[in-house]
Structure 1
Amino acid sequence: MKYIADLHTHTIVSGHAYSTLMENINEAYKKGIKILGSTEHGPTMPGGPHLFHFGNLKVIPRKVNGVIVLRGCEANIIDYKGNLDIPDKIQKSLDLIVASLHDVCLKPGSIDENTEALLNVMENPYVDIIGHLGNPVFPIHKEKVIKKAKEKNIIIEINNSSFVGSREGSKENCSEIVRLCKKYGTYLTLNSDSHFATCIGDFKVAEEIINSVGISEDQIINTSEKKLINYLKEKGKAIDICIE
């Protein structure tokens, strides 16, 4: 499959990433990535940016060096009620929100508590993607979460960085998650979660998992510019982006 977008990437602004936004954009262009989601960590993450960063993302041009830039955030789920660490006003202004569980922002709970956090965050109309769902540090009732994602039209991420140095033990969980997504018709996206520019667009291991399950291209949101932008527009986002 051909992937035209990487929807989960970080820059030096996140505090523990090592490339600039322009370096990420240039790498995306070089690799044929047409749409780049710039999704810095929310402010609860140690070293993360101030809320002003997200409030001022409007200064970034829509297209830079031929790459469409989506102004986003990887927001931290901060309690089992599914609250995020960025206020509604800022959530509403963004093109893209990846909602993720991180153990430095929320202590892992029981399987029921972790599942509750995800089910609740998917009630938030501004959330688009659930990040690195296969993390074994946060065990969940996978089928409940995937069914809810389908119901709420929320995308499940298969995060390539989980298999190449982060979140050890994610691969088996992600294989089961992909199978459930296939069963229920839930949208998927393959993302790099890049913390260094050369990782932009690298979905190698994630793609192996997708291929082993036999997911249709129609079910993967980042295989078509039109499919992705139409998805966002249906949610009232990215309305000024035109795809011919």
Structure 2
Amino acid sequence: MEILVDLHTHTVASGHAYSTISENAFAASRRGIKLLGMTDHGPKMPGSPFLYHFGNLTVLPQELYGVRILPGVEANIIGQEGELDVPNSYLARLKLVIVGLHDICYPGGTCEQNTQAYLKAMENPYTDMMVHPGRPEFELDLERIAYMSAKLNLPVEINNSSLTTIERGAWGNCRRIAHYMAQYKGPVILGSDAHFWDRVGEFSHALDLVHEAGISEHQVLNTSPDRVLNYLAARRKSRPIST
């Protein structure tokens, strides 16, 4: 399975990442990545940029080193109703909106409360994809998340960074969500979650898990830039009309 798209990467703007968008794009081009998401953390994450940063992303070139750039955000879930730290007026302008839980941004709760927060974020029409449900900080009902992914046709990520030695405790959770995704056949994305240029396009652990779980190549969106772009275009057409 060849992965040609990396939708989850960070730049120095995230505050705890260490490469520029130019460095990430150059690394992507060296790895054969054709489409690159620039998804710096939303403003609730300490060190992340002010909202104006996300409003000004239109200044970026559409392509660097032969790699198409999708300027976006990794929005943080900040409450148990699935509230995000980026207003819809900003989300509507972005090419890519990925959403996840982070312990420094979300107050935490029971498994049911955490799961409801995640599911409600999935139902947000401005959410394009959900990321790293396998991280160990929060207990989640991973089967319900996989079921809703299939029902909503909303991709859920297998996060390569969660499978590194740094977060080895996530292996069990990631293995469970991968098997549930194979069972319910919802759309999947693989993400590097790169915080330094040398991790861009690195999916080795995630691919191992995809093969182990029996996730089909058809489920994995980022085998094709066109599949990703077509999905995002359809997603935008389904949003409510702004007034």
TM tier relative to shorter chain: over 0.9
TM-score by length of 2: 0.95
Aligned to 2:63: 63
| 2:26 alignment partner AA | N
SS at match of 1:206: helix
> Aligned runs of 1:75-94 on 2, under 5 Å?
75-94=75-94
1:234 matches 2:231? no
What displacement does 1:157 show?
0.5
Aligned to 1:241: none
Aligned to 2:198: 198
Aligned to 1:138: 138
1:81-105 alpha-carbon deviations (Å, 9 max, x no partner): 0010000011111111111100000
1:41 matches 2:41? yes
Aligned to 2:111: 111
| d(CA) in 2 for partners of 1:167, 1:50 | 28
| 1:219 alignment partner AA | Q
What displacement does 1:231 show?
0.5
Q: CA RMSD in A?
A: 1.1
Deviation above 4 Å: which 4+ runs of structure 1? none
Equivalent pairs counted in the alignment come to: 237
Relative to structure 2, which stretch is displaced further, 145-154 or 38-47?
145-154
1:150-185 alpha-carbon deviations (Å, 9 max, x no partner): 222211111111122444411111111111111111
TM-score by length of 1: 0.94
| 1:161 alignment partner AA | S
1:127-147 alpha-carbon deviations (Å, 9 max, x no partner): 111111001211111111111
1:208 matches 2:201? no
What displacement does 1:216 show?
1.2
Aligned to 2:240: none
SS at match of 1:74: strand
| d(CA) in 2 for partners of 1:127, 1:35 | 19
1:183-238 alpha-carbon deviations (Å, 9 max, x no partner): 1111111111000000000011111111111211110010011111111111127x
Aligned to 2:2: 2
1:219 matches 2:231? no
Gaps of 5+ in 1: 238-244
Gaps of 5+ in 2: 238-243
| d(CA) in 1 for partners of 2:166, 2:44 | 19
SS at match of 2:28: helix
SS at match of 2:193: coil
| CA distance 1:20–1:74, shift in 2 (3 Å) | same
| d(CA) in 2 for partners of 1:76, 1:12 | 18
| CA distance 1:88–1:113, shift in 2 (3 Å) | same
| d(CA) in 2 for partners of 1:207, 1:114 | 27
SS at match of 1:236: helix
